[in-house]
């Protein structure tokens, strides 16, 4: 186990903690990469073997390099400390700080070795953007403007990274599934779907099936309902 990060201990889920990337100014793709690195690492390694919060910080650090949004370890440590202890001052540059910094760097190397340097991923974001543009053209203006389908779909996609959906399903399929769930949530139907030769979602991805959509939606709902606290 890398050096202890007890100072940053919290009952929050490390995957929730990865959203601290927003406070670090990371864009959504870089945060998605950090979450994917984190989940992929713990698919290979027992969760009890390494401090998940240290892995989360190193995932942010590595993702920043992968997506060319470089972060300083000092910023990661200070923002993380503020995340866990909102009323605290920045950490002193003492021996504990430097030990934690070294641990982040060492853990980054561990992540690269365990993942065999495969740390570049295809994310659903570009597909969802394309699908939303198409859907906006299909729906009448009133249906689109009165319901926050776009905002909801993006929120669902963001939250999907709290679990391992990014490892189990194709990026295009996840994009369609979050859009499908957003439409269902507001009772919006795609015009002329009953008369169409195939469902709207199959227009976007011809190898997608309803059972796959149902599985993704079920896993996503499970993320909202499960207890994600780590003892």
Domain for residue 6, yes or no? no
Q: Based on the domain organization, do 75 and 133 belong to the same domain? A: no
Structure tokens at 81: 């400390």
Full-model pTM: 0.86
Same domain? For 83 and 103 the reply is yes
Is there a domain that residue 63 lies in? Answer: yes
Tokens of 131: 């699908």
Instruction: Report pLDDT digits (tens) over 125-160.
Output: 999 999 999 988 888 787 788 899 999 999 999 999
Nearest CA among 96, 97, 95, 1 for reference residue 53: 1
What pLDDT tens digit does each residue of the chain (231 aa) get? 443 443 343 334 667 777 788 889 999 999 999 999 999 999 998 878 888 889 999 999 999 999 999 999 999 999 988 887 788 777 888 888 999 999 999 999 999 999 999 999 999 999 999 999 998 888 878 778 889 999 999 999 999 998 889 999 999 999 999 999 999 999 888 877 656 678 889 989 989 999 999 999 999 998 888 644 444
> Which CATH number goes with the domain that contains 192?
1.10.472.10
Residue with tokens 């369609």: 176
Supply the DSSP string of the chain, one letter for each residue.
--S--GGG--SS-HHHHTTHHHHTT--HHHHHHHHHHHHHHHHHS-GGGS-HHHHHHHHHHHHHHHTT----HHHHHHHHHHHH-TTPPPPPSSHHHHHHHHHHHHHHHHHHHHTTT------SHHHHHHHHHHHHHHS-HHHHHHS-HHHHHHHHHHHHTTTTHHHHS-HHHHHHHHHHHHHHHTT---TTTTTSSS-HHHHH-TT--HHHHHHHHHHHHHHHHS-----
Is the CB of residue 10 less than 8 Å from the CB of residue 53? yes
Q: What is the number of other CB atoms lying within 10 angstroms of the CB of residue 136?
A: 14
The residue from 65, 98, 115 where one domain ends is 115
Total domains in the fold of the chain? 2
Which domain, by its residues, includes 101? Answer: 14-115
CA geometry: angle 7, 115, 157, nearest 5 deg = 75
The position carrying tokens 């994917």 is: 36
Q: Which of 93, 115, 137 is the last residue of a domain?
A: 115
168, 85: one domain: no
Query: Last residue of a domain, which of 115, 147, 163?
Result: 115
Residues 109, 178 within the same domain: no
């Amino acid at each position: 186990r890398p050096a202890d990060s007890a100072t940053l201990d919290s009952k929050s889920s490390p995957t929730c903690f990865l959203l601290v990337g927003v406070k670090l100014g990371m864009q959504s793709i870089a945060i998605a990469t950090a979450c994917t690195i984190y989940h992929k690492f713990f698919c290979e390694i027992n969760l009890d073997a390494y401090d998940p919060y240290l892995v989360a910080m190193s995932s942010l650090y590595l993702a920043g390099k992968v997506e060319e949004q470089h972060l300083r370890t000092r910023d990661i440590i200070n923002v993380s400390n503020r995340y866990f202890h909102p009323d605290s001052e920045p950490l002193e540059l003492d021996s504990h700080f430097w030990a934690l910094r070294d641990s982040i760097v060492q853990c980054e190397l561990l992540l690269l070795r365990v993942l065999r340097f495969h740390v570049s991923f295809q994310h659903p974001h570009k597909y969802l953007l394309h699908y939303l543009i198409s859907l906006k053209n299909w729906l009448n203006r009133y249906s689109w403007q009165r319901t926050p389908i776009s905002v909801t779909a993006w929120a669902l996609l963001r939250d999907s990274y709290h679990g391992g959906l990014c490892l189990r399903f194709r990026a295009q399929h996840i994009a369609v599934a979050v859009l499908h769930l957003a439409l269902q949530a507001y009772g919006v139907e795609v015009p002329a779907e009953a008369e169409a030769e195939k469902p709207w979602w199959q227009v976007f991805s011809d190898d997608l099936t309803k059972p796959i959509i149902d599985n993704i939606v079920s896993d996503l709902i499970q993320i909202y309902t499960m207890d994600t606290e780590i003892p």
